[in-house]
Amino acid sequence: MVEASTKAGVYIQKKIKVQTEEAKAGAPEKKEEPEPEDEDLLAAIMKDLTLHSASFKPTAFETIEFEKDDDTNFHIDFIHACANLRARNYVIEECTHHKTKMIAGKIIPAVATATAMITGCVTAEILKYAQGWTDIEKFKNGFVNLAINYFCFTEPNSAKLTKSVEYDPVMCGPIKAIPEGFSVFDKVIIKRGSLTFQQLFDEIQALHNVEVSMVSCGRIALYNAYMPGGKHKVRLPMKPEELYVEISKDEFPPKRNYMVLELGGETEDGEDFSMPPVQYYFR
């Protein structure tokens, strides 16, 4: 049950817990279901988007004239919902329906020009992808300058692949790509539960036959075997997720069950290696 009230013109939502008959009888309360992982959510969204896009036809599209003062067209309702969803996603202040209408009214010149053009171009590319198109030549990059009425569309480049090289100018030696030809969209999945650094290194060595000597997570350096005096050897029996919290002083979100690690080290031949980020599930 939810009760709403206003105080000094500000909307306040109050939540009231209703005691059910089961609760009175001492029945255990239902546990909250865990939220699905990002990959599962994206897969579900793509499946739903693909089903809807299968019926799209060029004749199904029509021009809509934006009108903020017509509450029956739901234009402001849509903008308000999307804006507050984004605000909630990034934990920033949300706004009222009236403020959304006011802001939208002030930016109509921008909405009707560059913003509308960019949105249309991006949506066209999303529809191509949603309909299962995989040929990169069917997609387009766009460069548009409305001030001089210039429109230029080109074929996009494929994702850059990381390959082994005999000499890398940064490392001043050979670099081994593991696996060969991976892109920025690839990652290594480790789902073995909570592991110590040593157990994680053993797992990586068993999978890819490499020796890990450095581990970082974002801006935090978690392990470095080259520290003077072997200062980080004491971290081998520790767990990455616990050490990260200890160093960064930041707790993981309650429903976050993984962390992304960047690894460095050598192959069995003594070459430095480069590999995708490791998505390590610790629970």
pLDDT at position 5 over 50? no
Answer whether residue 79 shows pLDDT above 60: yes
pLDDT at position 250 is 84
- Using an 8 Å Cβ cutoff, are 131 and 54 in contact? yes
| 89-118 tens-digit pLDDT | 888 899 999 999 988 877 666 666 788 888
Q: Which two tokens stand for residue 19?
A: 């005691």
pTM over 0.85: no
Q: What is the pLDDT of residue 243?
A: 93
* CA pair distance 14, 217, nearest whole angstrom: 39
Cα(224)–Cα(215) distance, integer angstroms = 7
What integer pLDDT is reported at residue 2 of this predicted model?
Answer: 42
| pLDDT at 25 (0 to 100) | 56
| Tokens found for residue 201 | 């290194």
What pLDDT score was predicted for residue 147?
Answer: 85
Name all domains of the chain by residue range, CATH numbers in brackets. Answer: 42-106 (no CATH), 165-281 (3.10.290.60)
Between 121-130, 167-176, 220-229, the lowest mean confidence (pLDDT) is in 167-176
pLDDT greater than 60 at residue 224: yes
- Residue 258 · residue 281 · CB < 8 Å: yes
**What DSSP state is assigned to residue 194?**
S
Lowest mean pLDDT among 27-36, 126-135, 168-177: 27-36
pLDDT of 29-72, one tens digit each? 555 565 667 777 888 887 777 766 666 666 667 777 878 888 89
Distance in angstroms (rounded) separating the CA atoms of residues 101 and 195? 51
185 phi and psi, to 5 degrees?
-90, -5
Contact 274, 177 (CB under 8 A): yes
Round to whole Å and give the CA distance between 58 and 19. 53
Beta-strand relationship, 220-224 and 272-274: unpaired
Answer for the pair 194, 203: CB distance below 8 angstroms, yes or no: no
